[in-house]
Amino acid sequence: MRLFQPLIPLLALFAQGATADTYLVTAQNLMPDEHITQYVMGPADKDAIYFEEDGSLTLPARFLAVQGSPFLLLSALGEGGLLGNGQDTIGDWTGQTNHLETAEFEITTDASSLRIMAMVGPELEPDNYLMGLADLSHDDEITVPLRRYDLGMNEGTNQTTYIGDDDVIFTIRKVAD
């Protein structure tokens, strides 16, 4: 037993696991005519919850992209799932970010990278969504332009098409301990 005593503090440190950090998130909606639903974020190591093997969206991710409801995707993500709310209510939906507005919220996570997803409101296109990947492991502040995609449902192609990455800018800043 004496042989292992010096290792006990080290083992206790590993048993605690990764510590969670708190971040202030600013999401700027730069679109002049479209709002954004709530943002769903989850550890990037859970990408299989977002994507099928062929790269298409899973049912929970597709539900967010088309319906705007985050709850199926959050449920699939489980404990690591995070919800970012805007300050606007549009129709019956709270937590939205209106056109040309900014949302600010805090998140706490132990993930080293986050997948970010939201639906673009259907004012102009009924099947557009935003997706991004934030690497939290290196800098105390990062900027992530969310990429916009079209599912191709209303065009009848059902093929996802990349549209651009200048509609929403996510800034994630680590809050001091």
Q: Structural domain of residue 128, as residue ranges?
A: 25-174
pTM for the whole thing?
0.86
Residue 6: pLDDT above 90? no
Contacts of 19 (CB under 8 A, 6+ apart): 110
Residues in the chain: 177
* Alpha-carbon distances, residue 176 vs 17, 20, 23 (angstroms): 20, 12, 9
Separation between Cα atoms, residue 113 and residue 116, nearest integer Å: 10
The CA distance from 172 to 134, in Å, is 8
The residue that leads in pLDDT, 139 or 44, is 44
Residue 19 lies in a domain: no
Closest CA to 36 of 70, 79, 76: 70
Instruction: Kindly state whether residue 73 falls inside one of the protein's structural domains.
Output: yes
* Calpha distance 116→23 (Å, rounded): 14
Average pLDDT over residues 30-56: 95
Distance CA 46, CA 25 (A): 21
Mean pLDDT of the chain: 89
Identify the CATH number of the domain in which residue 151 sits.
2.60.40.2130
Q: How far apart are CA 116 and CA 123, in angstroms?
A: 21
The answer as to whether 14 is a domain residue is no
- Tally the domains of the chain: 1
> Quick one: average pLDDT of 78-102?
90
Q: Is residue 2 part of a domain?
A: no
68: left (phi over 0), alpha (psi -120 to 50) or beta: left
Q: Give the pLDDT score at 12.
A: 43
CB contact at 8 A, 170 and 141: no
Which has the higher per-residue pLDDT, 40 or 86?
40
Residue 16 lies in a domain: no
